[in-house]
Amino acid sequence: MISNIIIKLNEGGPFFMYPILFLLILVIILFVKAIISKESSEKTIALIASLGWFTLIWGILGQTLGLISAFDAIQAAGDISPSIMAGGLKVSLLTTLFGAITFLIARIGMIILIWQTKESVNN
């Protein structure tokens, strides 16, 4: 399973996928730290939000640059088969998907931390 993840990370482009992985780990660490300490400050929530947005945009940037490169290669090669085109499009979507998943995890973490903060204020 780990080898499959590494293959997908490399397939999507290490320049974009590994920073997203690092930011995903950072978001999880910040979330767990805030939950354990039961003190989710506004700064922590804002940082998680910023990291989530950054990963989403970083993934979209990776997809855009990947598509431009793919279309340049298609233009240079001339006629290509639909299966090669589909494979290239699949690879270009990996960074966007990974960025979106990281964004969603960050948003879920924010919702939980905001809810926890409101609960502690009410008690």
Residue 107 inside a domain? The answer is yes
- When divided into structural domains, the chain yields a total of 1
Q: Examine residue 12 and state whether it is found in any structural domain, yes or no.
A: no
> What global pTM score does this model have?
0.86
Q: Determine, yes or no, domain membership for 48.
A: yes
Give the CA distances from residue 60 to residues 26, 56, 94, 123, in Å, rounded to whole numbers and listed in that order.
20, 6, 10, 42
Q: How confident is the model at residue 79 (pLDDT cuts 50, 70, 90)?
A: confident
Q: Residue 38 half-sphere exposure, CB side, CA atoms within 13 Å?
A: 3
Model pLDDT for residues 44-61, shown as the tens digit of each residue: 999 999 999 999 999 999
Residue ranges making up the domain that contains 104: 27-122
51 occurs within a structural domain: yes
Nearest to 44 by CA among 24, 29, 25: 29
> Quick count: other Cβ atoms within 10 Å of Cβ 83?
8
